[in-house]
Structure 1
Amino acid sequence: MPRFVAVLLLAALVSVQADVFFHNPRGSNNRLNGNLTNRKSNNRMFDSQNNNKGGYNAGDAKSTPAAKEEGQYRMKYFASGSSGKSHMTVEWTNQHGCGGNANVNCNVVLQYMCQPDSVTATGNADTFRNGFEPAKQAYGKHTDLNEKKSRADRRKFNSVKPERGVHEKWDWYDKCFARERNAGLFTADQQLKADNGLGYSSSIYTRQNKNGGRSGYECPEERDYYPYWHPSPWKDIAVLVDDKNLCGYYQSESYNVQQKYECVEQYPDGSGRKHWSRWNNEQDCTSNGGQWLAFTNYLEKAIQFTSQAECQANSSNGIQYVWGRPEGEEDEQCLVALDAPDCLVSPTTRVNHLGNTPDGEASRYEWTLPYFPSGETQRCVMRIRYNITTGDYNPQTTDSNSNGDASPVKNDPDVDIVAGVQLSLAVNTAQYGRTFQDRSHAMLMMPRPAGLESSTIYNLNVRGKRGNLQQTIPAVEYDFIPNNLEINDGDLVHVQWTGSNTHNNNNAGNAGEGRAGSDRSNVVQLEDRLKNYPLSFEETTMWTNAHVKWIYFQDTPSITAKDLVINLATSGYYQCEKTATCGDESIETKVAANKALNKDMNNAPASYGGALIQFPSGEYFYMCTRNNNFTNRSQKGRLLVKQQQ
């Protein structure tokens, strides 16, 4: 049996039916491209434990549904520069309350993982991808503790399908399947499956997943417990807590800054390092011929430094290098170090209400995007984990000694109120204390255009999907995010959005303008927020003296203010006014070819490829013409550019 491993856990206990949903970046909730009210699969990529109706489709690049993944639109964010920061507003809703809430204890963990986009390819089994086929990846079970590397390689090759989505790698789940579970954990009165087919109970079995159900290539034990005690592919952004006293613990134990250990064994035929081991602690590992090795989390590799001395000597200008062993690899190397996660008090939200905080906004966190010294474009995915706990016992000290009959909580117990009066409680100890999650679709983090390394960049996006409140919930209706953006003179705004052509709920209702099921957005200036008629170009002030630093179709922009108005108002259907400026994508050419923009934007792209703009100082209001249905949907925004004193 594995030795007891003591940990402080997020996954304690409380009985609810709760959910968490990303709205920016758009959370998939395991959706891909379906046209149904409910998602087609609740375990395609991960175990969310959320309502089947939630989530947003992967965006389409054009006005028609993508025919393959290359036709999807991948959101693109400029990473922070060597001195200038990039900011993204992360927004979510959680059902069962958080923050200063007397009914429940909670934690929210924001995480991400990235890989260099240059090494990704459709046929690469380890490439992050949304996929195009809405089914989970296959898995050929690990059935032989003495298998050779060639057998493991065949199992992987036969499992991973290029048309299906991937976040965690196949190797990660196979490792989880083979490693003994942490038997020191509190499992209440749940009877976890005792045999994974290899003769023991492994890390795929947890109190919330007692039968070992598989969701993509996610490891259930890592999903349910934070901070995890073994290496993980995820990097921490922030831990949002209701008890600030826990911040020191979470920050010091985060894998961002604390090495984690696992057992490393070699194939007996000399074919190299195994990606898995049965043993989950040092004593069992070394007693069975393995090495108990430390692994280091990192932002990216620094391959230019090939020795430990050279690596450590080059830390400067805010970049910290560390010599360590990456998860899943054998050799130590030079790595760009991560900071400890931010730790803040969680936004306060009401119990049983997917709604706003006391400030009138949904729960938000301002993420300062990382700086990648290599300058390589990264392919990334975000994850949010929402944990709710109870005070019925001490979650920090209750462990496996309180399992079974000794559990302080039981399934559906009867309780004595007074003599002769018994009442039944609705308690499911598999859900009495629970971790929910959502994940974004794959996105890109790009290096900045030349000359903008020190600029501050704010991302301005669109949240929501087609339909009225009843049809979209637990997703949301359209709005700009943030819809009240205040910046300083000289800061840059990266305007970009994505949408789907198949958000039609299988004709179950998708109120809105234009073609059924289609998301569309644009930006036009308003005189103020109370108005619903946009200003003509001649009346606008927002675009006067605005400088376009980058736009999706020109690395060195040469478009005029009028061209920019045209481009944003048509979601890029027209790139500019004149053929001489943007060729076949101009108003001049398309109108002459009888390809004019439909007034409801039906033939406009569902996603807008982005413009990086420096606005003049002033206060500006704007709207989307298509989605601004007075009294029930209001897609408007405000931009305040404060003049430097």
Structure 2
Amino acid sequence: MMWVVRVSACMLLLHQVGADLYLHMPRGSNNRLNEATATRANANRVFDSQNNNRGGYNVGDEGKDKSGNDEGKQYRMQYFQSASATPDVKDKTYLAVEWTNQHGCGGSESTDPQKQNCHMVLQYMCQDDVSSPVGTADTLRNGVTTQTPNHNRAQSLQENKNTAQNRKNNNINTQRVLQESWDWYDKCYLRERNKGLFTADQKLKTNNGLGFSSAIYTRENPNGNRYGYECPEERDYFPYWHPTPWTDIAILTDNTTLCGQFEEGSFNRKAYGECVEEYGDGSRKHWSRWNNRQKCTENGGQWVEFSSFIEKAPQYTTESQCTSQPERGNRFVWAVPYDATDVNKKECLVQAPPLDCRQADYSRSNHLGNGVNGEANRYQWTLPFFPSNKDKRCVFRMRYNISTDDYAPYSTDSSRNLNNGIEGIASPIEQNPYVDVGGRSALRLNINTDQTGRIFQDRSHVFKLLTRPTAIKSDNIYNINVRGKRGNIVQVYPAVEYDFIPNNLRLSETDSVHIQWTGSNSHNNGGNGGDGQAGDEGQGQGGTDRSNIVQIADLNDNFPMPFERTTMWANANIRWIYHGKTDISPENLAVSMASAGYYRCVKKVDCPETTHNDYIVETKTKMNNLLNNAPASFTGAVLKFRRGTYHYASTRNNNFSNRSQKSTLIVV
């Protein structure tokens, strides 16, 4: 079947390498939750990262104490949505995505030759936010335990509707994390794998009792290990050839001649088919064994083309109403949504922008993954616009695909598999092969074929995309956040120490910035140091992340400027602030930023409203000078600055020997 050859050509293949991917903004979890240890507790909690166990950042805490078993006390970063999808209109929100990919990528082949090929795939998923932190069975959540979500496998392909629903009901535990849904993984387990893919000499297992090998078995995951509710086949290949819950943002590649294939194959705009079968009562099954049109229809199924969407527009009930909508740059289509229960009914869907495919920036192999001038690489993500004006709950995902050129990565398919039973066929790569280089003894290469075509991954904790208040509807908003965690560079590696991000932002007087950060109260990097050093060197209470902002005169300075000499806060126009009171004085804004929200106003007369009673300097318990009793996270403010250069720092994370949390804002 030609379609499997086409999709396998889109995936990169590689030899075994020691490479990892770590997100620093948004803060990548690397499967961590709230561990007080240097290493994560469960590498199978959410997704298959294939990263070092020490990586990742704990989920944020809202206040000064650990959130513990109360997910409502966790902090979800809150970014404002863009106000439209119309190009060249200054009403967008920008988030600087930062990461390190430790085996290198990108650059010019002529001036910066690499040792491997690479792709960086950036995606997200969102759903309507709900008032409950936990929500329903399918609500995105971080959970409060590091255990993997449950999944009891179907015992028969003749399973009825009630049995399937009971399996799900018995498996769902709202104390545990959820990103992909239970149905997504169950569908993956019960669908035959794509047998057109190159598996080298790996022997992929068969589903116990079902008589076939499903999409949970891949060359990278031949034993079918489970990671949360992730589908291994979808994880390992891009673009995927079935509908997925993920929305594409960008692919950063060292080979831009492939951009046409990636853009055309992105589910953002291309419909993909899936086999649909029914239960006896005529309702849709959430799964089918068949992975292609021919087998589907031969076995009584219906092959349906499904479309992606960022949200639905149910107010438009006809095709003409739907497709004629010019709503601020979004594309509306009349199609069958990928989550449809009635697959014969089309709906009005809001689709994502096209995939952004571009040249990956250079990063050096085996040198911590840093790019030019030792800086981590970044991508400026234009946050989406949702016409419904509903708040969204979201998660971000990044995958790092690397390969070498020992064989043709875009044309090698199942015809070259060693175990396909065809006489005389040899895989172009085999497990730990011996090579004859002359002489009496052969040399042995350390090659693991389940790591050819290797993919590393990191994901954020759950965050929110909020609708904009009227006051900032037309603002261009740049986010200023804090990366890193507590400890010196050896203790936190492969995470990073504290810094603002971006740490050198240039914008115009018409632009706004949203200052916000999050931190954990359990980042004490305790025992089980793994292959690194445990401990949490730093100022203030052990195990706690804290940040604040004070103005400094120069990046070489460590002493903050007295308020009377500052210009940053007097030159700030408050467009929005976390406690809603935008008419506060520059002094009160400075106090709020310096105290990470512990205080809102200096005097009661400045904030007479009862909602501010507990946040007044005159009456509140004195703030600890190392911010120990200040909150770990800060929702912050959206500010518009007058022209000038503003240097600022955090007073707590300022150990001159190895830490310097400072930044510059240039307004032109």
- Check whether TM > 0.5: yes
Code of the residue aligned with 1:15 in structure 2: it is Q
2:599 is the counterpart of 1:574: yes
- Aligned match of 1:625: 651
Partner residue of 2:587? 562
Shift of 1:200: 0.5
Tell me if structure 2 keeps the 8 A contact 1:196–1:202: no
Deviates more, 1:381-390 or 1:337-346: 337-346
Deviations 1:177-221 (A, max 9, x none): 000000000000000002343111000000000010000000000
Shift of 1:5: 5.0
Which residue number corresponds to residue 204 of structure 2?
Answer: 192
Contact 1:377 1:447 in 2 (8 A): yes
| Percent identical | 53
Equivalence for 2:616: 586
Q: What residue in structure 2 maps to residue 81 of structure 1?
A: 83
Corresponding residue SS for 1:515: coil
SS of the counterpart of 2:274?
strand
Listed as ranges, the matches of 1:153-232 within 5 Å are 153-232=165-244
Instruction: Tell me how large the CA RMSD over aligned residues is.
Output: 1.5
SS in 1 for 2:515: strand
Q: Which amino acid aligns with 1:37?
A: A
Aligned match of 1:6? 6
Q: Secondary structure at the match of 1:406?
A: coil
Question: In the alignment, does 2:316 pair up with 1:302?
Answer: no
The equivalent residue for 1:137 is 149
Give 1:375's aligned residue.
389
1:558 positional shift: 2.3
For the pair 1:20 / 2:21, whether they are aligned, the reply is yes
CA deviation after TM superposition for structure 1 residue 356, in Å? 2.1
Secondary structure at the residue paired with 1:589? coil
Q: CA deviation at 1:355?
A: 3.9
Q: Structure 2 counterpart of 1:572, which letter? A: G
Where does structure 2 lack aligned partners over 5 or more consecutive residues?
108-112, 419-424, 528-533
| Paired amino acid for 1:110 | L
Cα displacement string for residues 462-514 of structure 1 (whole angstroms, at most 9, x for unaligned residues): 00000001100000000000000001012110000000000011263100000
1:338 aligned partner, one-letter code: A
1:431-510 → structure 2 map (5 Å cutoff): 431-506=451-526, 508-510=534-536
More divergent stretch after superposition (193-202 vs 619-628): 193-202
1:320 maps to 2:331 = yes
User: Aligned letter for 2:426?
Assistant: A
* Equivalence for 1:349: 363
In the alignment, which of 430, 435, 446 is matched to residue 450 of structure 2? 430
Q: Pick the aligned partner of 1:339 from 353, 373, 377.
A: 353
TM-score (norm 2): 0.93
Kindly provide the amino acid, as one letter, of the partner of residue 351 in structure 2: A
Distance 1:338 1:609 in 2: 27
CA contact (8 A) 1:275 1:328 kept: no
Alignment correspondent of 2:104: 97
Q: Distance in 2 between matches of 1:208 and 1:388?
A: 13
Asked if residue 396 in structure 1 is aligned to residue 410 in structure 2, the reply is yes
Partner residue, 1:264? 276
Cα displacement (A) at 1:417: 1.3
- Opposite residue 299 of structure 1, the aligned amino acid is I
Partner residue in 1 for 2:662: 636
Distance 1:152 1:380 in 2: 27
C-alpha deviation, 1:420, in angstroms: 2.6
| Secondary structure of 2:398 counterpart | strand
Partner of 1:70: 72
For 1:91, the aligned partner's letter is E
Deviation at 1:271, TM superposition (A): 4.7
Work out whether residues 2 and 281 of structure 1, in 8 Å CA contact, stay in contact via their aligned partners in 2.
Answer: no
**Structure 1 counterpart of 2:45:** 44
Contact preservation (8 Å) 1:180, 1:203:
yes
Q: Name whichever of 323-332 and 165-174 sits farther off.
A: 323-332
Q: Following TM superposition, by how much is the alpha carbon of 1:14 offset from its aligned partner in structure 2, in angstroms?
A: 2.1
User: Structure 1-normalised TM-score?
Assistant: 0.97
Q: CA deviation at 1:359?
A: 4.0
- SS of equivalent residue, structure 2 residue 442: strand
Q: What is the CA–CA distance in structure 1 between the aligned matches of 2:482 and 2:282, rounded to whole Å? A: 50
In structure 1, the residue matched to 2:134 is: 122
Instruction: Give, in whole Å, the separation in 2 of the partners of 1:5 and 1:431.
Output: 20
Give the SS at the match of 1:505: coil
Q: Does 1:417 align with 2:441?
A: no
Which stretch of structure 1 is more off in the superposition, 67-76 or 347-356? 347-356
Counterpart contact for 1:501–1:518, Cα < 8 Å: yes
Q: Give the CA deviation at 1:584.
A: 1.7
> What do residues 150-188 of structure 1 show as CA deviations (whole Å, max 9, x unaligned)?
111100000010110100000000000000000000000
Given residue 295 of structure 2, which amino acid in structure 1 is its aligned partner?
A: D
Provide the rounded CA distance (Å) in 2 between the counterparts of 1:3 and 1:347. 32
Query: 2:74 aligned with 1:60, yes or no?
Result: no
**Cα offset, 1:548, TM superposition:** 1.0
CA distance in 2, matches of 1:552, 1:420: 74
Count the aligned residue pairs: 636
Does the 8 Å contact 1:579/1:585 carry over to 2? no
Q: CA deviation at 1:368?
A: 0.5
Q: Secondary structure at the match of 1:639?
A: strand
Write the distance in 2 (CA, Å) between the matches of 1:417 and 1:571. Answer: 64
One-letter amino acid of the structure 2 residue matched with residue 88 of structure 1: L
Could you list the runs of 5+ residues in structure 1 that have no partner in the other structure?
none
- Report the residue type matching 1:486 in the other structure: R
1:230-271 alpha-carbon deviations (Å, 9 max, x no partner): 00000000000001111111011100011111100111x215
Distance across 1 between alignment mates of 2:372 and 2:499: 19
Following TM superposition, where does structure 1 have runs of at least 4 consecutive aligned residues deviating by more than 3 angstroms? 1-6, 118-121
Code of the residue aligned with 1:280 in structure 2: it is: N
Paired residue secondary structure (1:106):
strand
How far off its partner does 1:627 sit?
0.4
